[in-house]
Amino acid sequence: MERNEVQKEKFLKLSFFKKVWYSICKFEKYPELAALGVKRALIYFTELMAIFSILFTFIFVIYASNIAEFEEQDLSLTQKIVKVLLRDSNVELEEISGTENVEEVLENSSNGTIISSLFIGNFISYYLITLIDVFTLSIFGLLTCFIAKIKMNYKAVFNMSIYALTLSTILKVIYIGLQMLANFEIKNFNIMYIAVSYISLAAAIFLIKSDVIKQHMELMKIIEENKGKIETTIKIPKRPKEDEENDNEDKKEEKKDSNDTNAGQQGSNA
């Protein structure tokens, strides 16, 4: 019991980057990470999305300032960012009343304001999108538990799904960087993204099942060993041979008396 408390205290003090390492390389640690609770899992998820949004914003600023092409010359960083955002959107500017005024206001804003707004927008959008991925992955996790015939409550599967998305999120940042800065594309990346997450989650679930089976086998082994020790320690004393012979004679006498009694009753009836 004391050992479990020490182990729990150790995991409660885990740093963010230690959790990242466990999420990617230590699938056997998933049960301990899940046991930290939904609150700590969501805090980790928020930190992960914040770092993701910072990196994405940094990549986007580099793309807008150095790689993106514009018809106008001598544009400021803010103007470049605004034009890339408007150009990449699917909404035509003529359909929005007052778009020119909005664009002018944005282009006249400071670099810090635009970059901060870009970060906040990225954080909110990717947080919600990735949270939907967590729910989707947790459903697959429940199905995997059913297939593996292991009972696990939804909170634990949900927490494990958050940690299982760590590697996919890192790969997504790398892919976005390659896509924007080097024009490198991977077909069906979104399928690979969720597949990597599911592999991590499924590996953790089957490791848990393996541990349960191992613990059951160890328990049965301990029971068998203790049973053998009990049988060798507690010996049932054998009765002396003379007592057994006396018991046999007594039984014969009782049987003889019983036969004589039955014969007497039959004679009287006759």
Question: What crossing angle do the helices spanning 16-25 and 166-182 adopt, rounded to 10°?
Answer: 90
Digit-coded pLDDT (tens) for 77-107: 888 888 888 776 655 544 444 445 566 666 6
pTM: 0.73
The alpha carbon of residue 134 and the mean position of all alpha carbons in its chain are separated, in whole angstroms, by 10
Under DSSP, the state recorded for 236 is: P
For the chain, the residue count is: 270
Tokens representing residue 166 in the block = 């760590």
Determine the pLDDT at residue 48: 95
Q: What is the CA radius of gyration of the chain?
A: 37
pLDDT at 137: 94
Query: What is the model's pLDDT at position 2?
Result: 47
Do 181 and 67 form a contact (C-beta atoms < 8 A)?
A: yes
User: How far out from the chain centre does Cα 262 lie?
Assistant: 80
In the chain, where does DSSP find H-type helix? 2-12, 16-25, 30-34, 38-62, 77-88, 99-107, 111-148, 154-164, 166-182, 189-233, 241-269
pLDDT tens for 185-242 read 888 888 888 899 999 999 999 888 876 666 656 656 666 666 655 555 555 555 555 5
C-beta neighbour count of 2 within 10 angstroms: 6
Contact 216, 158 (CB under 8 A): no
pLDDT digits (tens, 9 = 90+) for 102-128: 666 666 777 888 889 889 999 999 999
